[in-house]
Amino acid sequence: MKRWFAALIGSAALIACGIVHGYWTDRWSPPVETAQAAERLSAIPLELGEWDGEVLAVKDGEAGAGVAGFIRRRYVHRKTGATVSLFLVCGRPGPVSIHTPDVCYGASGFTFSTRGQYESGSGDSMWKADAVLTKATEETRLRVYWGWSDGSSWMAADDPRVQFARRPVLHKLYVQRELSEASDASRNEPCEEFLQTLLPALRKALFTSS
């Protein structure tokens, strides 16, 4: 009798854990919050100040499992010709908080420099670092900025999985450009110029109630 009762309790606990995990990971149906967040991504303008954008394709599985929505774009500055790319995903905090650039790019052979922080001056912060991929005949160098937002400011979070664990929706943003000797000599950093225009536009498109 005791063994039967213990088995029953264990089975009930296992089923309960499975149900809770299913709801947390949206196994059966996407929640309203993440579906609405995914729909709002299309409201981000292709024209941002002096920057003109174009939509880029996202490969299958590139955004990561469990992500509700994503966009990839390239923006070019009309006057300077500076080019930056944007990759933005949204969904539950669990899937969105993982796979930082140093992990994703590192798996492709890139070596990352020590990361620093970019401060927008209006309460937003992003991690930034350079990444280098060296092959026999060529070298690819990137400058990458990344951060997360739960609907307030963008944050260079140390542990986003913990810091945003109880949020209904989380966004992750990458902004990057390819480095060259000519672009390195520029007085202004194109990614940071772009972020000064982009972040207010994201706040309006994604986080402002209509």
Domain segments of the chain as ranges: 1-29, 31-207
Tokens of 39: 């729909």
With contact defined as beta carbons under 8 Å apart, do 41 and 86 qualify? no
What pLDDT is recorded for position 117? 96
More confident residue, 165 or 105: 165
88 neighbors 69 (Cβ within 8 angstroms): no
CA angle 42, 78, 74 (to 5 degrees): 40
CA quadruple 124, 156, 54, 111: dihedral, nearest 10: 150
Phi and psi of 123, rounded to 5°? 95, -5
Using pLDDT thresholds of 50, 70 and 90, give the confidence band for residue 141.
very high
The pLDDT of residue 58: 85
Does the pLDDT value for residue 207 go beyond 80? yes
Q: 134-151: b or e for each residue (b if 16 or more CB lie within 10 Å)?
A: eeeeeeebbbbbbbbbbe
Q: What pLDDT is attached to residue 99? A: 82
Cα–Cα distance measured from residue 51 to residue 74, given in angstroms and rounded to the nearest whole number: 10
* Lowest-pLDDT range of 3-7, 115-119, 159-163, 204-208: 3-7
The answer to whether the pTM exceeds 0.85 is no
Give pLDDT tens digits for 189-200: 999 999 999 999
- Give the range with max mean pLDDT: 24-33, 182-191, 194-203: 194-203
